[in-house]
Amino acid sequence: MYIDGQWAKAKGTFEVLNPATGEKIADVPDGGRDDAATAIAAADRAFPAWSNLTAYQRSAYLYRAYQIMMERKEDLARTMTEEQGKPLRAARNEVQYGADFLLWYAEEAKRVYGETIPAPRADQRFIVLHQPVGVVAAVTPWNYPVSMITRKVAPALAAGCTIVLKPAEATPLCAIEIFKILAEAEIPAGVANLVTAADPKPIGEEFVSNPAVRKITFTGSTGVGKMLAQGAAEQMKRISLELGGHAPFLVFDDANPQYAAKGAALVKFLNTGQACISPNRIFVHKSIVEPFTEEFISRVTRLRGGNGMEDGISIGPLVNEAAVDKVERQVNDAVEKGAKIGCGGHRLIDDGLDKGHFFAPTVLTGVTPDMLIYREETFGPVAPIIAFDDDETAITMANDTHYGLAAYVYTQNISRAHRMFERLRFGIVGINDINPTGAAAPFGGMKESGLGREGGREGIAEYLETKLGGFSV
Ligand code: ADP
């Protein structure tokens, strides 16, 4: 753990396992509630000095961290593949994406502008100031173990906040590597603190109940997000939440089915489907569902599952056995209710893969609304295809979910593209675009997919209070 500028042990340790091989790769400190309290106290002590630095000074620290992360890119990517399982190429992309947040917020730190507003009285002046909220407590997931950390730490530090981070128990090593970078960038003691723990519950309890914490930022499941939001309400702490998704992927009859199938196959199986913006329901117009499905299955059949350290692997392991069980349950349920397996549909166990948590990339056709996979987030390598007749039905089906994070649309018709962009109730819409994300762009969801945005101008606003000054002159 990294607390108040020092590397610290906890009372015990817990194991980190390689999800591709089941082997133990490290023991890390198993922090408890008292460690979280110590870290929060350190962040609280560090806050006045950090928030009083100039934006230029804070920017320089973040820029240094960015440079060190770029130098460490390969090592960090290898740690990620070993710990999280994604193919090395994808891990390198993620490190770059993670570093992008450090660079973007090093720049954005200098653009926290205030405002003057015309006041109603002649002798009155209104000035609006943005100030850091205070100590931030952050909880991050295992699926993007580097970028989900920098996406919170960079804007928090840029804004002038100090932070305590609890990373996911499956991927503490990536977090430790990031904090080594922050330490080497000589970010002052107490400004950024790391508490690793096998059991997140007591840490979460300390985060919500400790009055020094003024903001909670969380990325993870909707269930835990709701719990933290309820806890945070007690002291009216600021909160931002990036939660689950159930992204629709809509292919209209004017789209090229082969091109759309290529896009769908690329984005659906990224990170083995373990992404909150992963397409979870692929709606294809019935007039092109056949050529789409044929191309899609041919591409998916060629994806190779295995250890992400090896060349040519595009499907890494799932995070654990529970994840494999969930995927298997959704596939079996769909088949029992009449869906057909286009390819895959089973665990991968040959050539030693039984030691890890592998499931074959799977295509289901003939999926209907009564199936679990139509409602539940899958977080795995299963692509359900659903045929539709007309635009209105497609919009209704796409919006028929309590999630609202990402949606994808394939069409060559510009009016339809605009209509879909406006009518889909999702925070992020990719139009003929399978990667509508970037450090400069606001990422976040509607409905039960969360609150607030990360990245872009909006991402730093989450860490700022707005203060109005009324002056009589
Ligand atoms: P998943 O089921 O995909 O692992 P979680 O929401 O359980 O998603 O995990 C995301 C993050 O939330 C992880 O860092 C995890 O440790 C943390 N977490 C899980 N339960 C709690 C809790 N009760 N309080 C605080 N953090 C939690």
Residues 6+ apart with CB under 8 A from 167: 140, 142, 145, 149, 174, 175, 194, 196
Report the C-alpha gap between 29 and 10 in whole angstroms: 5
Q: Does 265 lie in the same domain as 149?
A: no
Residue 130 pLDDT class (50, 70, 90 cuts)? very high
pLDDT for res 237 = 98
pLDDT digits over 34-63, tens only?
999 999 999 999 999 999 999 999 999 999
Q: Does 159 lie in the same domain as 199?
A: yes
Q: Does 234 lie in the same domain as 354?
A: no
Is the Cβ atom of 224 under 6 angstroms away from ligand 1?
A: yes
Residue 437 counted as domain residue? no
Residues 6+ apart with CB under 8 A from 136: 43, 152, 156, 161, 162, 163, 164, 213, 214, 215, 216, 217, 463
- The best mutation among 146, 208, 209, 221 to test binding of ligand 1, ranked by most ligand atoms within 8 Å of the C-beta, falls on 221
Residue 401: how many other CB atoms lie within 10 Å: 24
Residue 87 pLDDT class (50, 70, 90 cuts)? very high
Is the Cβ atom of 201 under 6 angstroms away from ligand 1?
A: yes
Closest residue CA from atom 14 of ligand 1: 168
Q: Does 291 lie in the same domain as 415?
A: yes
Q: Does 222 lie in the same domain as 252?
A: no
In the beta sheet, which residues pair with residue 7? 2
Pairing relation of β-strands 238-242 and 450-451? antiparallel
Q: Does 385 lie in the same domain as 239?
A: no
Residue 325 counted as domain residue? yes
Closest residue CA from atom 18 of ligand 1: 200
Residue 41 counted as domain residue? yes
- The minimum-distance atom of ligand 1 relative to the CA of 379 is 3
Of 83, 12, 122, 120, the residue nearest 319 (C-alpha): 83
pLDDT digits over 15-25, tens only?
999 999 999 99
Residue 338 counted as domain residue? yes
Report the C-alpha gap between 106 and 470 in whole angstroms: 31
Residue 213 pLDDT class (50, 70, 90 cuts)? very high
Closest residue CA from atom 23 of ligand 1: 201
Of 77, 89, 85, the residue nearest 18 (C-alpha): 85
**Which CATH number is 339's domain given?**
3.40.309.10
Q: Does 300 lie in the same domain as 167?
A: no
Of 194, 219, 169, the residue nearest 26 (C-alpha): 169
Q: Which of 83, 94, 206, 242 is catalytic?
A: 242
CA of 220 to the centre of ligand 1 (A): 6
Is 242 one of the catalytic residues?
Answer: yes
Q: Which of 161, 174, 276, 343 is catalytic?
A: 276
Residues 6+ apart with CB under 8 A from 203: 31, 32, 33, 36, 139, 166, 195, 197
pLDDT for res 13 = 98
Is 129 exposed, middle or buried, given 0-12, 13-18 or 19+ CB atoms closer than 10 A?
middle
Is 276 one of the catalytic residues?
Answer: yes
Q: Does 141 lie in the same domain as 275?
A: no
Average pLDDT over residues 292-321: 97
Share of the chain above pLDDT 70, in %: 100
Is the Cβ atom of 231 under 6 angstroms away from ligand 1?
A: no
C-alpha dihedral, 225 to 459 to 453 to 320, nearest 10°: -50
Residue 180 pLDDT class (50, 70, 90 cuts)? very high
Q: Does 149 lie in the same domain as 87?
A: yes
Of 109, 47, 119, the residue nearest 468 (C-alpha): 119
pLDDT for res 387 = 97
Q: How many domains does the chain have?
A: 2
Is the Cβ atom of 141 under 6 angstroms away from ligand 1?
A: yes
Residue 158 pLDDT class (50, 70, 90 cuts)? very high
Report the C-alpha gap between 22 and 20 in whole angstroms: 6
Residue 12 counted as domain residue? yes
Is the Cβ atom of 220 under 6 angstroms away from ligand 1?
A: yes
**Which CATH number is 13's domain given?**
3.40.605.10
Report the C-alpha gap between 15 and 83 in whole angstroms: 11
In the beta sheet, which residues pair with residue 431? 409
Report the C-alpha gap between 405 and 243 in whole angstroms: 8
Q: Does 102 lie in the same domain as 35?
A: yes
Residue 376 counted as domain residue? yes
Residues 6+ apart with CB under 8 A from 364: 331, 334, 335, 339, 340, 341, 342, 345, 373, 382, 383, 384, 385
pLDDT digits over 96-106, tens only?
999 999 999 99
Q: Does 96 lie in the same domain as 144?
A: yes
Residue 192 counted as domain residue? yes
Residue 441 counted as domain residue? no
Q: Does 342 lie in the same domain as 283?
A: yes
Give the residue numbers spanning the domain of 396.
Answer: 247-431
Rounded to the nearest angstrom, the gap between the alpha carbon of residue 456 and the centroid of all alpha carbons in its chain is 15
Radius of gyration of the chain measured on its C-alpha atoms? 23
Evaluate if pTM is beyond 0.85.
Answer: yes
pLDDT for res 285 = 98
